[in-house]
Copies of this chain bind each other. A is one copy, B any other.
């Protein structure tokens, strides 16, 4: 992993985002302007009809963008979503899902990217959902001393 964030910082960040564990979201890849995250198959994210819930997919897309940013510019705890737009294209079957995010613009203050969400093992021509997201990046971002709660 060539991501500009080390395992220790990544672990600390994750502990501050407990809903990721709650949904079974894992980071599969992090690198230059991109990230791939997975969402575990679990009963907790299914909605009536047996399909994965919209909010679970929104959370997955949003997290994919966050980690794509962190993997590219390093530790920026206060990067915040300023907008997210998601279209649900096909009801996904129950099962693991995967979000593939890439950053389309990385400015000093704003990052913009898109994420495709797939059912595990599905045709890459058949995304389940597509999201676009804008994040604001704090103007100055000294890395906090290790062990400091932010």
Which residues of A does B touch, CB under 8 Å?
13, 16-19, 22, 44-45, 47-49, 51, 53-56, 58-59, 62, 77-78, 80-91, 104-105, 112, 114, 127, 130, 132, 134, 150
- Please determine whether B54 and A55 come into contact, CB atoms closer than 8 angstroms: no
- Please determine whether A19 and B55 come into contact, CB atoms closer than 8 angstroms: yes
Copies in the complex: 4
- Please determine whether A59 and B48 come into contact, CB atoms closer than 8 angstroms: no
Cβ–Cβ < 8 Å partners of A78 in chain B = 48-49
The answer, among B44, B48, B80, for a CB contact under 8 Å with A77, is B48
Known contacts A19-B44, A48-B77; decide if A84 and B58 are in contact (CB<8 Å): yes
Cβ–Cβ < 8 Å partners of A90 in chain B = 105
Closest 6 CB pairs of A and B: A55-B59, A85-B85, A54-B81, A89-B105, A48-B77, A83-B87
